[in-house]
Structure 1
Amino acid sequence: MSAAIINLAYLLAVALFVLGLKGLSHPRTAVRGNRLGATGMLIAIVATLLDRQILSYEWILVGLVVGALAGSVMALRVPMTAMPQMVAVLNGFGGAASALVAGASIVESALPDAQLGVPLAQLTAAESLDKADPKLLEIWRQFEGEPAEGGAPPTPEDREARFRRFREQFSGPENLAQLDRALAAAFAPFEQRGLLDSPSTELGRGNPDEAIVRPRGAPEPLLRVKLAEVLLGDKSAVQQSLRTHVPPDETADLLFNWVKPRLAPTLEVDLEQTAAARQKASEAVPEVTDVFKAGQLLVSARDPKTGEPIRLSAEQIELLRLEDQAAQMQRTAGEQIVRALTVLVLIFVMFVLCGMYMRYRQRGPLDSVSRLLTLIVMAAATVGGAKLLSADPWRAELIPLLLFGMTMSIAYRQELALVVVTAIALIVTLAAGHDLYEFALLMSVTTVGVVNVGRIRTRRKLIYVGLACGALAAVLDVAIALLNNHPLNVFLLTDAARIGLWGLAAGFLMTGLLPFIEQVFGVLTDLSLLELGDVSHPLLQELVRRAPSTYNHSLTVGAIAEAAAEAIGARGLFVRVGAYFHDIGKMLKPGYFVENQGAEGSRHEGLVPAMSTLVIIAHIKDGSDLARQYRLPQPIIDLIVQHHGTTLVEYFYDRAHERSQSDPNGDEPDENLFRYPGPKPQTKEAAVLMLADAVESASRTLIDPAPARIESLVRSIAERRLHDGQFDESGLTLRELRTIEKSLVVSLISIYHGRIKYPEPRGEARPDARDAREPREARGEPTSQRASASAAEDRKNDDAAVPAAAPAATKD
């Protein structure tokens, strides 16, 4: 039957199914729905039977009879109340039938000879290829297979003649039965031996010709077979077996073309057992020794015919390595001891120099055991990685050395990085067996990386540094080769390009490792500082909401502190970002600090001086707690804790002193109770922040912020901090202190710069003195804070809020 009629029947069946389902949706149309559905199913079954070219209808008739009898009995005996149970049973039978069909499909797919009957019956039923439908032509193409590579495709006449011979050979039940027996005999050996896909990719090198077959999980072998007897593919044992049992060869090849894509391998390579067998066979082979006489040429660097340089093979390089090992083994015990002692003394001296530099110049790695252990582990990992990567064909010892040098430069200072890298580069050179030329190359390239890392403000910085290191490494490699009389050829340029690539690779690796390096060493690069200093940070937004004047003060301090830090070569960006967060503790009690007080006055009026001091000092601890809660980096927390050092809260100390003087029974106040807990500034950046914070707050008390007054104020505050010992632990020099003072003076003068007074419009009343003072009073500053410049220079408390009703304390 044609495909068009079959498809039309299937389409009609689908339409009847849809109409039947619609009819089942209502009790009145349920009977009609059942009939429509049954009719659709009947049409689908008949179309399937006609389409699939069923060879035997006996079993189908038996199934129909049995099903009809069972359905009749259930229709007569099962009451309507038990209909749900009956439907469930019938659904169960349907599921079981689906499982049986699936199992039969699996079995049928595993037995190609069992599948062959259907297409053979279809082909033998056809008269010729010309009258065959497209589906039958597709089946015949599966038997023909693809034409041989390079061969011409068969003509239509050849195809037709081959089809007739094939159809005549298998027409009739007797011929099909005979074919079935021949196929069983052809596949019988493979049911025992099994089938295997091409194992070349799994077995690796070698050319095995035998295989030991064993059941999965069984230790004992089943049989030993030739690989050719179990391999699938063209011209395999399966094809030969078919040619033996199903003559002629043309027919066997046609059957093999159809069977081949349906054959599934039943064997797989046991790599573990194969490796063990190889090792056992290798150990059984006696060792072969080649003898080379002294003076005999092992490897030639040039082609003997053309004289051109050649690239050494892996075997030649291995031969040279063995020769070097043999030369080292021929050294006497005394020579080996002297060499070992020399290397140990050299390494010991280098590390002693590194330790002395750390002891007297930079104690960063010696401050804690964890930092020192981290440095030692990094150095050991660098040497081990460089030794591992120095082998051929990689020669990539530059990568770990560059990573180590740039990490040291980021975590500590560049000077310490250069000192330690020199020692590590020497050890790597000795461990890899290189000469001084290689040491010079490693040191030069690593020095460029260490010096150029600097401040990392962009993510591309480290990639550019790696590119510069790679370019220098390539140039130095060519220069060293030319100094050693190597010709300039493609091999030399290839090696130089490879070394340059390692430098670039180190830059990319460093970019990815940077966040982990910052976390391990507790450092902040400029890139992280730029992200941290974003005004959208939750802490800064909270500070704006709770204490806007403190936020404005922090921004101003950050601006002038950054300029001062840059003036002495310190990290200005670090100081600026630290200044943004240095007073975040004030947001918990903003009303107790003068910049946040409004017209309602000071909250310290009802507190004794000691209690007011505790409130003022508490903003340091509150700030550090908030910083840890929001996971700020430790260097920023250090600035928060150190920006007041151990300075005296002078205003409340003086008030306590006045009270003790006025009270005959009063005791002299303890100065230690009115000091910040510290510690004192430990870095130059912390000292700069301390001065900037103090002078910015004090400058706001100047009624007339003239340049001379500002300069006198800054010098006075700096001198008092210096005499109080606040800079003793910061490493700040007197020259740097004077430079900071000048920078702060310039910044404050630019902030309080003068303006031209415009003439008054005619006809308007001139504001009186009270009106002229209104802008300052509108800011909510207590009048007592407007002391003279001499008072601000003499006594400054940048955090304490002075009660509005208290008289201004001045000294002449």
Structure 2
Amino acid sequence: MNNEIRYQNKTIRYRLNGWKTSAAVRLLLYAALAALLSFAFFPKLVPPTYDLKPGSIADKTILAPRQEVDAAATLRAKDAAVQQVQPVYQVVGLNNEALVDTLFDKLNQINADAEVKFEDKVSIYRTVLPQIVADHHARSVKTFRSSGAYSDTLLEELDRTIADQAYRIPEEAFFKFPRLTKEDLAAMQPVARDIVTKLMYDELQQVQSARAKVAELVSTSNLTKALSRELVQEIIRVSLSPNKFIDTRGTEEARVKAREETKPVYVNKGDVLVKRGDLITEELYKRLEDMDLLKTQSNYWPQLGLVLLSGMMVTFLYMYHRRTKAHIHDTNTQLIMLGLIYVLNIAVMKIIAYGQTDIPYIGYLAPTAMGAMLITILFDGTLAFGSTIVFAIIASVMFNTDPALMFDFRYGLLTLVAGWAGIFTMQKASQRSSILKAGIVVALFSALAMLSLLLMNDHVAENEILLTLAYSFSGGLLTAVLVIGLVPFFEALFGILSPLKLVELSNPNHPLLRKLLTETPGTYHHSVMVGNLSEAAAEAVGANGLLCRVGSYYHDIGKTKRPSYFIENQTNIENPHDRIDPALSKSIIVAHARDGVEMLRDYKMPKAICDIAEQHHGTTLLHYFYHKAKQQAEGEGREVKEEEFRYPGPKAQTKEAAIVGIADSVEAAVRSLRNPTMEQIDTMVHKIIKSRLDDGQLSDCDLTLKELDTIAKTLNETLLGIFHSRIEYPNEGAS
């Protein structure tokens, strides 16, 4: 019946506590952690969207979430570049000096022919001279076209421009040309040629300006006859032509090149797209649409990227947790506690980040090392190292104020330095004052880290240096204050026994330990010995050695209610069990576990300590009183059941409780030996462990056979050191 009740209780307890090891719950917790990271990253890594329409008024200033080409501005820049391109002109040499020679050859030829009448000469000049000019230009164009030196469009422009600016010789000049003698023409030709050469040396887009200079140039020549001066001017003017022509094709090519070479105009990340109060024009609306900043759009790529980043980080954390000694992967309770530390650390960072808009450099005040120090105290340093990297990534995103960047490495570096400084300082901490010391170390290293960055920047103002150092140093002190306040909270909420709490409980001035020492000195000495043994054994198998030591100090506190009934306290007195019934003796002995738990709970002792006191005997049998009762019952014809002389349990549920139970039995058994030898100790240790194993006392904890073997070896070594002076070595003297 009792076995059935115990089985039912065990089943109910397993079902109630099943969530602690449930894989589904663990998956949900990691998903919640990924959601937490996404929440921390979201405002900085995912651009917000706005509910705007063309014609509406912007209720807030909108910044560009990324760098992107501004299509409208780029088009305007290209158009402006095209407008700035000047027309391309080509200077074309038309050999006008040869035209002058041709005209004088024709004048010499006609004037020298005496058979041609004056009136006929006038008529010939009226027709021939313009034709000579036209033919000269036509031949030049034909030559250029056949050589391919100039484009057709340029030659067409040349033809049109020369025709538009052609000079018409006055009618009266045709009546004067026949009067020129051979000598006159010979004197006029070099003058005309020189002046044409001189005037055509310039680039002439409008030839009229050059023709206006002819009279002045002729007046300075060596011609003395008025008729020669007058007619040479006409020959020069008709021989002049434009030589600079607009190149339509070249101009278009230059404009195309200018358009192509115009660099795109970018909207940089963080640039103001819309100011608060601006009217949303069609152009602004299109720009916001191109930037995926409108709620009407369904662009989920940033959110997908954020989910991938958070999922990747949580995956790495999961793999990292599986390889640490903190058993995070095995116990959902501890995973919840770790998640709560993440929540608190991110929340504090978030609060500080809100003040960045109003208070410059306040981000350096953030106690980013708080999470790392809490994890070091409540778990271990290895787990804290990995978490610090996560906190550094979060800080570099959360405190980033440069819109052009996604991460600000300064805050990431500060978090790494502060966190790792806190971890190294707290790993050997044994008092709560150590947290304050660690905070000072964190403050110093944080300030040094920021000072190193500031010294590498030559353009930092003095006030910026002072503020940065002040905030970073204060952040370390703030970290210590928060950790000191939060450690008791976690200890109470999760029943966690931090190393600091355990060290405090091991203080001999604790009321219960003073009571144990003064009222039951034998039990106190026994508890100290058990503490030494159990701590060494626990550390050998990776269990909590400090918990075993402190739990051993309190495991027999219940004996203070009836100290004289326990053999270690029976100094120079008669054993009271010799005079009472074995059943009553059994009741007194087994009661010390129950009494101890009640006393510990009255003093609000942590659950782990209470569990060790309650479970260290498990349901073991009190062999001495059982056999004594059995001998008495045989004479009376009664039957004594073994279950009546067992401890009520429960059996050890943790490695620590089981190790304390083994160490308790081993210490008591070895102490009963006179001058124990190494062989006796080894035999006794293995016998006790085997007995507990065969009796099923270790079935509810997760100690393996290999670990039990390690425990046995460690207990042997420790006992050898304790009883060294009393051990007799075979064939050797006492050493």
User: Hey, what does 1:793 align to over in structure 2?
Assistant: none
CA gap of 1:671–1:376, structure 2 versus 1, over 3 A, is same
CA-CA distance at 1:525 after TM superposition: 4.0
The 2-side partners of 1:551 and 1:628 are apart by 20
User: When the two structures are aligned, how many residues end up with a matched partner?
Assistant: 445
Q: Does 1:748 align with 2:719?
A: yes
CA-CA distance at 1:581 after TM superposition: 1.4
CA gap of 1:755–1:423, structure 2 versus 1, over 3 A, is closer
CA-CA distance at 1:553 after TM superposition: 1.8
1:551 to 515, 521, 524: 524
Matches within 5 A, 1:644-683: 644-655=617-628, 666=639, 669-671=641-643, 674-683=646-655
User: Hey, what does 2:415 align to over in structure 1?
Assistant: 442
CA gap of 1:646–1:290, structure 2 versus 1, over 3 A, is closer
CA gap of 1:430–1:648, structure 2 versus 1, over 3 A, is farther
- Does the 8 Å contact 2:530/2:663 carry over to 1? yes
CA gap of 1:403–1:465, structure 2 versus 1, over 3 A, is same
The 1-side partners of 2:63 and 2:673 are apart by 96
Q: Does 1:607 align with 2:581?
A: yes
- Does the 8 Å contact 1:592/1:604 carry over to 2? no
CA-CA distance at 1:641 after TM superposition: 1.9
Counterpart amino acid of residue 393 in structure 1: P
2:306 to 328, 334, 343: 343
1:584 to 557, 562, 567: 557
User: Hey, what does 2:598 align to over in structure 1?
Assistant: 625
1:285-329 residue CA offsets vs partner (Å, 9 max, x unmatched) = x99999999899xxxxxxxxxxxxxxxxxxxxxx99674998999
The 2-side partners of 1:480 and 1:457 are apart by 34
Q: Does 1:533 align with 2:506?
A: yes
CA gap of 1:396–1:734, structure 2 versus 1, over 3 A, is farther
Q: Does 1:380 align with 2:354?
A: no
User: Hey, what does 1:696 align to over in structure 2?
Assistant: 667
CA-CA distance at 1:575 after TM superposition: 3.0
User: Hey, what does 2:688 align to over in structure 1?
Assistant: 717
- Does the 8 Å contact 2:551/2:612 carry over to 1? yes
- Does the 8 Å contact 1:594/1:602 carry over to 2? no
User: Hey, what does 2:154 align to over in structure 1?
Assistant: none
SS at 2:347's partner residue?
Answer: helix
The 1-side partners of 2:574 and 2:62 are apart by 102
TM-score (normalised: structure 2): 0.51
1:402 to 333, 354, 369: 369
Counterpart amino acid of residue 718 in structure 1: I
User: Hey, what does 1:393 align to over in structure 2?
Assistant: 360
Counterpart amino acid of residue 695 in structure 1: V
The 2-side partners of 1:681 and 1:607 are apart by 32
1:504-536 residue CA offsets vs partner (Å, 9 max, x unmatched) = 432344345444443344334444444433333
Matches within 5 A, 1:28-47: none
CA-CA distance at 1:740 after TM superposition: 3.9
User: Hey, what does 1:764 align to over in structure 2?
Assistant: none
1:414 to 381, 386, 393: 381
CA gap of 1:648–1:416, structure 2 versus 1, over 3 A, is farther
The 2-side partners of 1:357 and 1:660 are apart by 61
Q: Does 1:463 align with 2:432?
A: no
Counterpart amino acid of residue 600 in structure 2: A
Matches within 5 A, 1:770-781: none
CA gap of 1:413–1:458, structure 2 versus 1, over 3 A, is closer
The 2-side partners of 1:745 and 1:571 are apart by 19
The 2-side partners of 1:355 and 1:747 are apart by 38
CA gap of 1:721–1:413, structure 2 versus 1, over 3 A, is farther
SS at 1:603's partner residue?
Answer: helix
Matches within 5 A, 1:51-450: 323=272, 331-332=291-292, 337-351=300-314, 354=317, 376-390=339-353, 391=356, 392-396=359-363, 399-433=366-400, 434-435=406-407, 437=409, 438-439=411-412, 441-450=414-423
SS at 2:577's partner residue?
Answer: coil
CA-CA distance at 1:582 after TM superposition: 1.1
SS at 1:703's partner residue?
Answer: coil
The 2-side partners of 1:553 and 1:324 are apart by 78
CA-CA distance at 1:629 after TM superposition: 1.2
CA gap of 1:717–1:373, structure 2 versus 1, over 3 A, is closer
Counterpart amino acid of residue 347 in structure 1: S
- Does the 8 Å contact 2:377/2:499 carry over to 1? no
Counterpart amino acid of residue 577 in structure 1: V
SS at 2:300's partner residue?
Answer: helix
The 1-side partners of 2:423 and 2:587 are apart by 47
* Cα root mean square deviation, aligned: 4.6
User: Hey, what does 2:566 align to over in structure 1?
Assistant: 593
Q: Give aligned-pair identity as a percent.
A: 30
Counterpart amino acid of residue 516 in structure 2: L
TM-score (normalised: structure 1): 0.47
- Does the 8 Å contact 2:520/2:563 carry over to 1? yes
User: Hey, what does 1:773 align to over in structure 2?
Assistant: none
The 2-side partners of 1:542 and 1:489 are apart by 63
CA gap of 1:488–1:645, structure 2 versus 1, over 3 A, is farther
CA-CA distance at 1:712 after TM superposition: 2.4
CA gap of 1:486–1:553, structure 2 versus 1, over 3 A, is same
CA gap of 1:348–1:397, structure 2 versus 1, over 3 A, is farther
Counterpart amino acid of residue 748 in structure 1: L
Counterpart amino acid of residue 556 in structure 2: D
User: Hey, what does 2:607 align to over in structure 1?
Assistant: 634
CA gap of 1:419–1:324, structure 2 versus 1, over 3 A, is farther
CA gap of 1:477–1:534, structure 2 versus 1, over 3 A, is closer
CA-CA distance at 1:495 after TM superposition: 6.3
CA-CA distance at 1:637 after TM superposition: 1.7
The 2-side partners of 1:621 and 1:706 are apart by 35
Counterpart amino acid of residue 650 in structure 1: H
SS at 2:712's partner residue?
Answer: helix
1:233-283 residue CA offsets vs partner (Å, 9 max, x unmatched) = xxxxxxxxxxxxxxxxxxxxxxxxxxxxxxxxxxxxxxxxxxxxxxxxxxx
CA-CA distance at 1:614 after TM superposition: 3.4
Query: Of the two structures, which has the highest relative contact order with CA contacts closer than 8 Å and spacing of 6 or more?
Result: 2
SS at 2:618's partner residue?
Answer: coil
Counterpart amino acid of residue 601 in structure 1: N
The 2-side partners of 1:606 and 1:291 are apart by 89
The 1-side partners of 2:274 and 2:420 are apart by 33
Please identify, of 403-412 and 438-447, the stretch whose mean Cα deviation from structure 2 is larger. 438-447
CA gap of 1:401–1:287, structure 2 versus 1, over 3 A, is closer
The 1-side partners of 2:713 and 2:474 are apart by 48
CA-CA distance at 1:482 after TM superposition: 8.4
User: Hey, what does 1:212 align to over in structure 2?
Assistant: none
